Amino acid sequence: MPGTGRRCDLRDMENVDRIAPRDVCLEVNRLNLHYLDWGNCENQTILLLHGFMGHAHVWDDLAEELVGHCYNVLALDQRGHGESQWSEKGEYRIDDFFADIADFVEQLKLRDLILIGHSMGGRNALFYSACAAEKVSRLILVDARVGNSPASSSAFRQLLNRLPLQSASLDEIVHLISGHYPDLSEDTCRHLAAYGYKKIDGDVFVPRYDTKMSLECQQQGFRVEEMWPFLENVSCPVLVVRGEDSPFVSREDAIKMCDLLARAEWREIPRATHMPVQENPDACKKVFSDFLAACYET
């Protein structure tokens, strides 16, 4: 059973030996879900939740920093994403993701949990923290919108339209990702594409996520469930992170989130849009480190 962990500074982790994660599958709510396990199971657990169309490997760089004898790090491929099973009934509402996280936490007997979620994963982490407050000790929301606006819906539509449902080459996908996120390194774009797409029928690449979700998003006008009412139910310390140039989460919304949360602060990542952890990793690691260290001191 994971312990309570200890304070560490992510900026001091450069000399830690790198540990490759284990690929693990677990039956959760009648679906086989895949997750990455970096070990250190006696330390406090950090559960990483990727965004829409993402996968557990988007966290690889950050996870290597977190794992260095400080945290037990797990990154989940959420239902319909990555190597996890798709829902035959198209059950991809926030209630479905909540039930998965709840069952996952229960089966692994996780406690004193730190949740870090990006975008959709942040929304799922927020909802879980509101409904199972006793399980979560800290929460980091990375560019996760909790409501709707014309700007965020437009940004969502542009992102979906940018990434193809099939491609003739991985290089084309890398080029498209780079065009949408110019601050990402080429290696990062290739890493995201390699784990986000798979080859079928010879030389055709298709996404590793269930594209029925994209069609549903389009039918809903690229809107998401309103999460504002749930903020007041989150009792743990919360860090709200947004990219400085994010079209998904406005500065005003980040401030409003902190006003409604009981114990929250927000930070803006320079030279970043919707993927600040990957666009400006050094700045994000410092912000995360400062937040986690301050939580240990209080």
Q: How far is it, in rounded angstroms, from Cα 197 to Cα 73? A: 24
Q: Is the pLDDT of residue 225 over 80?
A: yes
Q: Is the pLDDT of residue 256 over 60?
A: yes
Q: How confident is the model at residue 5 (pLDDT cuts 50, 70, 90)?
A: very low
The pLDDT, as a whole number, for residue 41 is: 75
The pLDDT, as a whole number, for residue 69 is: 53
Q: Is the pLDDT of residue 192 over 60?
A: yes
Q: What is the mean pLDDT of the chain?
A: 92
The CA–CA distances, whole Å, from 267 to 80, 139, 185 equal 30, 14, 23
pLDDT tens per residue across span 139-172 = 999 999 999 999 999 999 999 999 999 999 999 9
The CA–CA distances, whole Å, from 151 to 102, 155, 164, 253, 284 equal 32, 6, 22, 12, 24
* Domains of the chain, residue spans: 10-151+225-297
At position 117, the amino acid (one-letter code) is: G
- The alpha carbon dihedral of 66, 71, 72, 78 has a sign of negative
Q: Is the pLDDT of residue 9 over 50?
A: no
The pLDDT, as a whole number, for residue 274 is: 98
Q: How confident is the model at residue 3 (pLDDT cuts 50, 70, 90)?
A: very low
Q: How confident is the model at residue 6 (pLDDT cuts 50, 70, 90)?
A: very low
Mean pLDDT of 231-238: 98
- The alpha carbon dihedral of 117, 123, 129, 132 has a sign of negative
The pLDDT, as a whole number, for residue 298 is: 53
Mean pLDDT of 44-69: 93
Q: How confident is the model at residue 18 (pLDDT cuts 50, 70, 90)?
A: low
The pLDDT, as a whole number, for residue 70 is: 77
Q: Is the pLDDT of residue 14 over 90?
A: no
Tokens of 143: 């560019």
Mean pLDDT of 30-40: 94
Q: How confident is the model at residue 15 (pLDDT cuts 50, 70, 90)?
A: very low
Q: How far is it, in rounded angstroms, from Cα 101 to Cα 86? A: 16
Q: Is the pLDDT of residue 76 over 70?
A: yes
Mean pLDDT of 57-82: 92
Q: Is the pLDDT of residue 11 over 70?
A: no
Regarding beta strands 113-118 and 31-37, do their DSSP bridges make them parallel or antiparallel, or are they unpaired?
A: unpaired
The pLDDT, as a whole number, for residue 236 is: 98
CATH topology assigned to domain 10-151+225-297: Rossmann fold (3.40.50)
Q: How far is it, in rounded angstroms, from Cα 122 to Cα 50? A: 8
Q: Is the pLDDT of residue 2 over 70?
A: no
Q: How confident is the model at residue 294 (pLDDT cuts 50, 70, 90)?
A: confident
